[in-house]
Amino acid sequence: MLKSKTFVKKTRSGGVLKIVREHYLRDDIWCGSELCKECKDEAPVLQEDAFIESNLCSYPHYLIPDTNVVLHQIDILEDPLIRNVIILQTVLQEVRHRSAPVYKRLKDAIHEKEKHFYTFTNEHHKETFIEREPGESANDRNDRAIRVAAKWYADHLEKATDGGLLKVVILTNDRANQEKAEQFGLTVFRCEDYIKSLIGNPELVDRLALESDDKNEITGSKLLFPEHLPLSRIQTGIKNGVFLQGTFHANRDNYLEGTVFINREGDDIKEVLLQGLQNLNRAVHQDVVAVELFPKERWVAPSSVVMQDDNPNDEDVAEDEHEDKMKSVVLESSVLKPTGKVVGIIKRNWRPYCGMLSQSQIKEATRHLFTPADRRIPRIRIETRQAANLVGQRIMVAIDGWPKNSRYPNGHFVKNLGICGDKETETEVLLLEHDVPHQPFSQAVLSFLPKMPWRITEEELKVRADLRHLCVCSVDPPGCTDIDDALHCRELENGNLEVGVHIADVSHFIRPGNALDQESANRGTTVYLCGKRIDMVPELLSSNLCSLRSNVERLAFSCIWEMNHNAEIIKTHFTKSVINSKASLTYAEAQMRIDDASMNDDITKSLRGLNKLAKILKGRRIEKGALTLSSPEVRFHIDSETHDPIDLQTKELKETNSMVEEFMLLANISELEIHTDSAKALADSLNNATIECFPYFNTLLRILATRCMMQAVYFCSGMDSDFHHYGLASPIYTHFTSPIRRYSDIIVHRLLAVAINADSTYPDLMDKHKLSSLCANLNYRHKMAQYAQRASVAFHTQLFFKNRGIVNEEGFILFVRKNAIIILIPKFGLEGTVFFENKDKPSPHLSFDSEGPTLKVEEHTFHMFDKVKVTISLDASNLQHQRIRMALVEPVIPGVSVSVPDSEPAAKKTKLDR
């Protein structure tokens, strides 16, 4: 059956275009039920025994949720208890249009066989399709479509089962829709009523998201925040220049302060400072907001006061005392920034948050505060009847809304992650908090892996350079199984040297556009945590077929240079190849071969040749202006039985580390020459900044210089013209050498393969807008991976010090603050803060000079790079935010410095605060 709709529209040139849209209706769309004998469905989804114990429904039933139930109660629908759900096409299309994240979660639930979610294409069924009536809104038409489909299901199942007990139940929170459905003779319940009727599932009730009608149930009546402006007024204000649009970033150290980064190009103002709860006006970290700028006389400076929201009360009151304290400090500073207030929310970027429950002190209370692990997120008020069981657990909570009469946003419990402090739980938390995709690879992804046993075919050998005879070897950290790169060096008959960098040919296995490629592009990078690796590609590729392991034939992408003995490139050649690595070495093993004069085998000769050339290349790079920077990296020694860290030390770099690095850089830069610019001046000044009696001074300078630099980012060459890499002093730089762990390198491999006629192109590879979008995701994933790795190091550092008591070590001052000094401990590569203000005792006299910067504590003045001695211990008084605490030992300042204790003091009572 065919329905058509005809309309005309005016074209840009002034002509009239007639458009005919055809809509096909069918009568062979099945109901999907096992009970139905009329439908000829060979693989029904909905179960015959669709029974859930409920006080409202004592009969077997299928659920039909409307659009708003799906959008707001997706946490409920994902629960294993909720099965046999009919998702109408009307609902699916509307969810897709309104929320991409919820749509993805709904699709995942539909694909999960155990859930028995069935998609019914009611918009193409001749008995359930309806036309929109004159004057009817799109929303009302969709609600009517849901009722019509539900009525068809009720009649169809009654007929198919000869009047059996099986029914369909509509779930809605729309009162008008509920009344019309009841008039239609349908069974319909409010979602909350239905969930509360389920027997023996209190945890499911906690997952109910608050609807707009319910939001005032757990808040006070006093208005604490200004009303948000409607979107129409916001858009007009932005267009007229009255408001600015930007992304809100909360201050991690001060909950009363944040910054809005203005998104629009051409605006003179790039950042707007916000201070005080009223001016923050319920913005949450990463929300897109509209801000109104204050007059210049009301501009203030960022506060240097550290303030955490650790008020034990769950009350809707203003924070006048804290705000006054912040203002008094701000007035001392003359560095004013554009300041304003949030007038409206353009887009909420909420996500589920990990954290812990702060149980109410009121007996039998169901209202409690949730404290997120991320200090930039406000505490969230939730209702739960299982608070006693959740104390001391890591849980996940979602925000439902933030009414103007509530001090905190309202939310609901999502799931319990496990015991706080447990390694598996904490790893799960840091992966979730940093948005690291870590779910097992789906069957759709795994279906594109090569079938085992795998071998290189004769056809493949014909189109590749056969380099299996070369003395190739790899040099990597201990325990490395995802070996991306291998090297060789040999002398040619003409006296020159041939040097090869051979990179795993991952693009041979991951073809453009399939599920494996899409998953790899989404993950973007492999994430290395302490004792755990989250692969970008399935293990069959990362640790086996792509890994350039020794004594097995592997496909590679080779970059081969002919060089003279001064490391000057004479010729460069790229080719797809087949190699057979002769050895997989660690940095220490390779260094031992180079240093051992008695070893003269081919592998050792190759390593010595590579090392000699690498030293020349590095010297030339530094001479031309490349920077040698520093960032302390640590290595944990893990107990083989408990998997707890038993030793912690900074990584020792050998010549072989530098050797591999040089040739990876050379391959990434290709044949382009390094040239000199302003980085040369910085490099020279860093090289000359030495103090004879203070050897660590230069390292400290390089650490600070590294932190001042912008992170290198991926971009599409057609969208930007500044290709220069400052730190490497290179006019152009890309990533080519790590395709097992970086998706960017796979794209570069594909581009290079097209350039040398080793592979064909495809549309997305030539689409600069799609590549630019891909680059944005890769930059985000790379940044999140770095943060996750740092969080993993921090957690394992805490584990290391947990059983060590109090440790005394020497350190150096990296930064001086108004009320604290930040110390670097070289032995552990560890940073910590010594605070000079303490709630438990009188504060010493402090005098801060921002010009130095210096901090005078009583009679002693601290400068950057001063040597100090401190005690290091684990402060576990805050269960959620355990931290390394440092206390000053030397220099000795009466009333401030601590004496070195003989034994560990008694642990404080644990608490949970901000």
Backbone torsions φ then ψ of 551, nearest 5 degrees: 65, 25
Q: Name the least confident of 131-145, 178-192, 260-274, 607-621.
A: 260-274
Closest CA to 246 of 257, 231, 230, 260: 260
Task: Give the burial class of 31: count Cβ atoms within 10 A of its Cβ; 0-12 exposed, 13-18 middle, 19 or more buried.
Answer: buried
Closest CA to 53 of 201, 202, 205, 198: 198
Give residue 884's pLDDT: 82
Q: What is the DSSP letter of 652?
A: P
Helical ranges in 576-649 per DSSP H: 587-595, 602-624
CA distance 210 to 192: 9
Q: Are 485 and 660 in contact (CB under 8 A)?
A: yes
Backbone torsions φ then ψ of 248, nearest 5 degrees: -85, 130
CA distance 870 to 535: 39
Would you call 167 helix, strand, or coil by DSSP?
strand
CATH of 352-420, one of 2.40.50.700, 3.40.50.880, 2.40.10.410, 2.40.50.140: 2.40.50.700
Task: Kindly report, residue by residue over 205-256, the tens digit of the pLDDT.
Answer: 888 887 654 444 444 557 889 999 999 999 999 999 899 999 999 988 888 8
Peptide bond into 853 cis (omega under 30): yes
Show the tokens assigned to 160: 């198919």
Give residue 270's pLDDT: 87
Task: List residues bridging with 383 in a β-sheet.
Answer: 367
Q: Are 624 and 729 in contact (CB under 8 A)?
A: yes
Spell out the long-range contacts of 308-311 with Cβ–Cβ below 8 A and sequence spacing 24 or more.
308/253, 308/255, 308/375, 308/913, 308/914, 309/255, 309/378, 309/379, 309/914, 310/913, 310/914
Domain residue ranges of the chain, discontinuous segments joined by +: 2-194, 352-420, 446-523+532-617+625-782, 805-890
Q: What is the DSSP letter of 336?
A: -
CA distance 625 to 621: 6
| Average of per-residue pLDDT across 560-588 | 91
Q: Name the least confident of 284-293, 582-591, 861-870.
A: 861-870
CA separation, residue 527 to residues 174, 368, 380, 662, 798 (Å): 44, 35, 30, 23, 21
Give residue 305's pLDDT: 62
Closest CA to 109 of 68, 73, 78, 63: 78
CA distance 510 to 546: 11
| Average of per-residue pLDDT across 45-61 | 88
Give residue 218's pLDDT: 46
Q: Are 155 and 123 in contact (CB under 8 A)?
A: no
Give residue 499's pLDDT: 92
Placement of tokens 């030495």 in the chain: 690
CA distance 509 to 556: 11
Would you call 302 helix, strand, or coil by DSSP?
coil
Give residue 216's pLDDT: 44
Kindly state the percentage of the chain with pLDDT values over 70: 81
Tell which CATH architecture fits domain 805-890.
Beta Barrel (2.40)
Give residue 706's pLDDT: 62
Give residue 87's pLDDT: 95
CA distance 50 to 48: 6
Task: Kindly report, residue by residue over 805-857, the tens digit of the pLDDT.
Answer: 788 888 888 888 888 888 888 887 788 888 887 766 778 888 888 777 888 88
Q: Are 760 and 463 in contact (CB under 8 A)?
A: no
Task: Kindly report, residue by residue over 478-514, the tens digit of the pLDDT.
Answer: 888 999 999 999 999 998 999 999 999 999 999 999 9
Give residue 720's pLDDT: 60
Contacts (Cβ under 8 Å, ≥6 apart) of 521:
743, 774, 777
Give residue 259's pLDDT: 93
CA separation, residue 475 to residues 384, 664, 668 (Å): 54, 12, 18
Show the tokens assigned to 570: 């004479």
User: Residue 669 — pLDDT band, cuts 50, 70, 90?
Assistant: low
CA distance 832 to 854: 18
CA distance 124 to 105: 24
Average pLDDT score over the chain: 82
CA separation, residue 467 to residues 460, 503, 508, 752, 773 (Å): 13, 13, 17, 19, 37
Show the tokens assigned to 371: 């404290």
Q: Which contiguous run of DSSP H or E holds residue 150? A: helix 138-160
Contacts (Cβ under 8 Å, ≥6 apart) of 750:
507, 512, 759, 761, 765
Show the tokens assigned to 34: 């096992």
Closest CA to 880 of 251, 545, 391, 232: 391
Question: Is the confidence at residue 721, as pLDDT, over 60?
Answer: no
Give residue 634's pLDDT: 59
Q: What is the 3-state secondary structure (H, E, C) of 251-272?
A: CCCECCEEEEEECCCCCCCCEE
Would you call 913 helix, strand, or coil by DSSP?
coil
Task: Kindly report, residue by residue over 282-337, the tens digit of the pLDDT.
Answer: 999 999 999 999 999 899 888 766 666 655 555 555 555 555 555 544 444 457 88
CA distance 581 to 591: 18
Backbone torsions φ then ψ of 667, nearest 5 degrees: -65, -40
Give residue 842's pLDDT: 77
Contacts (Cβ under 8 Å, ≥6 apart) of 291:
243, 244, 245, 246, 260, 272, 274, 340, 341, 342, 343
Q: Name the least confident of 528-537, 591-600, 882-891.
A: 882-891
User: Residue 905 — pLDDT band, cuts 50, 70, 90?
Assistant: very low
Backbone torsions φ then ψ of 370, nearest 5 degrees: -105, 130
In order, the DSSP letters of 430-479 are HHHHTT---SPPPHHHHTTSPPSS----HHHHHTSEE-TTS--EEEE-TT
Q: Which contiguous run of DSSP H or E holds residue 772? A: helix 768-802
In order, the DSSP letters of 873-888 are EEE-SBSTT-EEEEEE
Instruction: Answer yes or no: pTM beyond 0.95.
Output: no
Spell out the long-range contacts of 592-595 with Cβ–Cβ below 8 A and sequence spacing 24 or more.
594/655, 594/656
Up-side HSE of residue 92: CA atoms within 13 Å toward CB? 18
Would you call 729 helix, strand, or coil by DSSP?
coil
Task: Kindly report, residue by residue over 731-756, the tens digit of the pLDDT.
Answer: 555 766 789 989 988 988 888 888 88
CA distance 342 to 406: 17
352-420 and 805-890 share one fold: yes
Kindly state the percentage of the chain with pLDDT values over 90: 38
Polymer length in residues for the chain:
914
- Who has greater pLDDT, 61 or 165? 61
Task: List residues bridging with 84 in a β-sheet.
Answer: none
Please tell me the class of the 2-194 domain. alpha beta
Give residue 659's pLDDT: 74
